[in-house]
Amino acid sequence: MLDGVLQPLIANATSSIVILSLTLLLAYLCYALFSHPLSHIPGPLHRRLSSIPLLVSNYRGTESSQAASLHAKYGPIVLLGPNDVHINDGGAIAPIYVEKGGFRKAPYYHSTDIDGLQTIFSTTDPEYRAVRAKAVAPIFATSKIQSDGARILHDCADDFVAALKKAKNGVHEIDLIDLARRYSLDAMSGYVFGKRYGAFTDYTGTETLSATPYVNFIQAFTRFFLVPNWILGYLLAFLGSVYPNQEFETSTEKVTSYVQSLVDEAKQGGGKDTFQKRLLDVGISEAETMVQCEDAIFAGTDAPGTTLGLLVWNLVKQPEYIRGLRHELTDGPMGNMSLLRATVQEGNRTSLANPVRLPRIVPPQGWTYTPSAGGKKSYHVPAGTAVGISAYSLHLNETTFPSPHEFNPRRWVENGQSIATREMNRDLFAFGAGSRQCIAQNLAMEEMFVVIRRLAESEVLTGAQVVCEEVRLGEWFNTRLRDGCNLKIRWTV
């Protein structure tokens, strides 16, 4: 009897739950399609309903190429998620990143905090950043780098070339990513911290840079860039307990020990006019100063190393550019380094060291985007939306850069004169733009100028060949070579 009473009730309850669920789903669909503040932004249905597709593409390293596919179908502005918009238009750089200081960074950046502390890069608070950036900014002035850092950069470039010569004479392969990281780390640390990390000390050409596991771990973790920071904390703790990594632990200990020595010396009055001393002098705590230095080590090693490694790899594949650089240095007009500058620009464009969208939050008044290509329709982007542009979409734009996947420094210069269009200069987005662009941009550029010039002078790449004819890049916040790819070179006997 009881079963006879309960069964109809259970059946009715189940039916009610199903009907209610379907009603709620239908209501949500209607809201997403017609009433959501971003319902007028072009994009596929599944992107309107959930952030999961965006999170998955970010994790898999396909976010930017997927965005490019969406732009090909929907136009210059597309919806990546319920509150995320991507724009494929260099004309939007100024309003998003430059004018009036640009929009504020999205909270996503806090996923790159270190030990719970914000860095100059990760903070979303302009005032917090201003105190720290103002303290260290003078170090990164081009004139100061060229005067105070010239000897350091040239010494590191000599070490870079010496390592290549050793590999050439020993007839063995050498990994350009590892070598480029060594140069970038020692050049940055020697100038910025006043003490080289020692990346070339006892280097034989076969071992891996001691800082590499540390850098690789942070690089790999950028696949979680869009994950809320509080979740990342639990995830990091879980992964650390389940998958202990002794190489990472040893590498981190070495990096931490090096940074501690820098801070200890600065506290005792040494290291005058260094990054760490300047931070301590404006009242930044020892703990945070160490974190800022550790962040600088990652930033000054990974992206510059990737860019330089890929650039040298391309020069090995196309030796006519090295010959052209050598001719410019020996027979060209005094002081005219136009091909050198073009080569570095093309290296920055093609390396895509930071390929993904740099998200910013639309301010309270909202923002109206009008396509710069003369589109008749404008799009109002409401306050609180995470909007951004990616280097991937700009650097691989066929209209601005014909044959965009081709490494071609000559697209920038002809007969010693720049032929770059306004759009080319505008859309070179390797360091971001505006007040939050890379603080060390000038140093990164000077490092490249010095070492590429030294390479051309040395002729060490004569006879070199790449081991892997093609490489595939993962589109995380920091680019990473896909599995199965390498940037090794060797010499013919």
Residue 351 pLDDT > 90, yes or no?
yes
pLDDT confidence tier of residue 493, bands split at 50, 70 and 90 = low
What type of residue sits at position 255?
Answer: V
> Do the strands 104-105 and 367-369 form a parallel or antiparallel pair, or are they unpaired?
unpaired
- Give the model confidence (pLDDT) of 270-304 as tens digits: 878 999 999 999 999 999 999 999 999 999 999 99
Share of the chain above pLDDT 90, in %: 78
Annotated binding-site positions for heme: 438
CB 459 within 8 A of CB 326: yes
Q: What is the DSSP string of 10-29?
A: HHHHHHHHHHHHHHHHHHHH
Average pLDDT over residues 463-486: 91
What pLDDT is attached to residue 9? Answer: 56
For residues 29 and 34, give the distance between their C-alpha atoms in angstroms, rounded to a whole number: 8
For residues 265 and 280, give the distance between their C-alpha atoms in angstroms, rounded to a whole number: 11
Please report how many Cα atoms fall inside a 13 Å half-sphere around the Cα of residue 360, on the Cβ side: 29
Length of the chain: 493
Q: Which helix (H) or strand (E) holds 433?
A: none
Contacts for 458 with CB less than 8 Å, ≥ 6 apart? 161, 164, 165
For residues 431 and 172, give the distance between their C-alpha atoms in angstroms, rounded to a whole number: 34
What pLDDT is attached to residue 429? Answer: 98
What type of residue sits at position 352?
Answer: L
Average pLDDT over residues 210-235: 88
What pLDDT is attached to residue 395? Answer: 98
pLDDT confidence tier of residue 4, bands split at 50, 70 and 90 = low
CB 172 within 8 A of CB 436: no
Annotated binding-site positions: 438
What pLDDT is attached to residue 269? Answer: 86
Please give the angle made by the CA atoms of 238, 241 and 246, to the nearest 5 degrees: 130
Contacts for 402 with CB less than 8 Å, ≥ 6 apart? 411
Residue 401 pLDDT > 70, yes or no?
yes
- Judged by average pLDDT, the poorest of 17-21, 185-189, 489-493 is 17-21
Residue-range domain boundaries for the chain: 1-35, 50-491
For residues 211 and 181, give the distance between their C-alpha atoms in angstroms, rounded to a whole number: 9
Q: CA-CA distances (angstroms) from residue 116 to 105, 111, 163, 445? A: 18, 10, 38, 31
Please give the angle made by the CA atoms of 445, 447 and 453, to the nearest 5 degrees: 100
> Do the strands 84-87 and 386-388 form a parallel or antiparallel pair, or are they unpaired?
parallel
For residues 417 and 424, give the distance between their C-alpha atoms in angstroms, rounded to a whole number: 15
CATH number for 50-491: choose from 3.40.190.10, 3.30.590.20, 3.40.630.30, 1.10.630.10. 1.10.630.10
Residue 6 pLDDT > 70, yes or no?
no
Distance of CA 271 to the CA centre of its chain: 29
What type of residue sits at position 46?
Answer: H
Residue with tokens 């696949």: 223
What type of residue sits at position 492?
Answer: T
